[in-house]
Structure 1
Amino acid sequence: MKLLLILSLLYLAYIDWHTFRLPDYVTLPLICIGIVFNAVSEPGFTNTSSALIGGIMGYGFLWALNTGFRAIKGRNGIGMGDAKLLAALGAWLGWVALPNILFIASFLGLIGGLAWLKFNKQKLHQAFPFGPFLAIAGIIELLWPQFIQNLLPQLI
C-alpha cells in the first residue's frame, strides 16, 4: 500500500506542477481509500478514528486558512485541491502526521517557491503549485515518520 500511496502522490505532484490543478478524480478516491485501508487493515498506518479526524482536519485547516486569507485579501491564497490532498494525507497517515507534513511542505515550498519565482521571472504575488511540496512532505512522513523529531535536536 505504501507504493500505491507514493505513486499517487508523485502523479499528483507531476499534474499540479504542470497544470496548477489537483484533480478530484485522484484526490477524492485517495481520501476514501486511506480511510478504508486504515479501517480494514490490521497493521494500517493509523487507526480508523485518526484517519477520519486526519481527513477532516487536513481539509478543514487549509479551508479555514484560505477563507481567512480571502476575507483579508479578497482572493484565494491556496487551492482547494491542496486541501483535498492534505485531507488524503491525513486519511492515510492520521491527524498526528499533519503538523509534520505542513512543516516540511511549508519549508520546501518556501525554498521551492522562491526558486520558482526567480526561475520563471515572476513577482511575489504570482501563484505557484503547492501540491508537489505537500506530496513530497507526505512521502517523507510515510517513509521516515520521525524525520522532524530526529532532525530538530541536530539543528539545535
Structure 2
Amino acid sequence: MQSPNLIILVQMTLVLALIYLAYIDLTSFRLPNALTIPLIFLGLMFNFLTPLRFTNSTNALLGCVLGYGFVWLMNFIYRSLKKQSGIGMGDAKLLAALGAWLGADALPEILLIASLSGLVGGLLWLKWQKSQINHPFPFGPFLAFAGIIELLWPQAIQTYLLIQ
C-alpha cells in the first residue's frame, strides 16, 4: 500500500475512534480509560516510530503533556473556587490523545473549535434536556469534533482568517 493510502487509512481509523468516543461520552458522560489511554500511546508511537507521522516526536510529546496539563489545571482552578469538578479527566486524556496525534501546535485550534461548538452545543443540549444552566453536559463530543476538523483540515481557522 502506498503512503498516501496508509495516511488516509490512519486518518479514517482515528476519525472512527473519535466518533465512537464522542458517542460514548454523549450517552454515558464517560470517556473510558480503556480507549483514551491506548489512543494516547498509539498517537505517540505513530509520531515517534513511523515515517508517516502527522508531527515530529517532540511536538507530539509536548502536545500530549500540554493537552492533559491544560485541562487538569483548568479543573484544579475551578475545583479550588467552586469545590466541585468542572470538567472530567476523561476530557483531559482525550485532549492528551489529540495532542499526541496532532502535536502541540494543533491544541489552540482544537480548544477554540471545541469551546465555541461546546458553547452552542451545550446551550442546545441544556434546552433539549430542559435543564438548568449549571447542569453538566458532555464536552468530549466537542473535543472529538474539533480533533476531526484539525486532523482532516489542519489550520482551517488560520487559513480562513488569512483569506478574509
Tell me which interval the TM-score lies in, with the shorter structure as reference length. over 0.9
Q: Which structure 1 segments of 5+ residues have no match?
A: none
Q: In angstroms, what is the RMSD of aligned CA positions?
A: 0.9
Is 2:109–2:155's contact at 8 Å kept on the other side of the alignment?
A: no
Alpha-carbon separation, structure 1, partners of 2:22 and 2:13? 14
Q: Which structure 2 segments of 5+ residues have no match?
A: 1-9
- The one of 2, 9, 17 equivalent to 1:8 is 17
Is 2:110–2:146's contact at 8 Å kept on the other side of the alignment?
A: yes
Q: Which residue of 2 aligns with 1:145?
A: 154
Alpha-carbon separation, structure 2, partners of 1:136 and 1:6? 9
Q: Given residue 33 of structure 2, which amino acid in structure 1 is its aligned partner?
A: D
Q: Which residue of 2 aligns with 1:48?
A: 57
TM-score norm. by structure 2 comes to: 0.92
Alpha-carbon separation, structure 2, partners of 1:151 and 1:73? 38
Q: Which residue of 2 aligns with 1:79?
A: 88
Shift of 1:43: 2.8
Which whole-Å deviations, capped at 9, do the CAs of 1:107-141 have from their partners, x for residues lacking one?
A: 00000000001111100100000000000000000
- The one of 18, 24, 44 equivalent to 1:35 is 44
Alpha-carbon separation, structure 1, partners of 2:124 and 2:22? 17
TM-score norm. by structure 1 comes to: 0.97
Q: Which residue of 2 aligns with 1:93?
A: 102
Runs ≥4 in structure 1, deviation > 6 angstroms?
Answer: none
Shift of 1:153: 4.1
Greater Cα shift, 35-44 or 20-29: 35-44
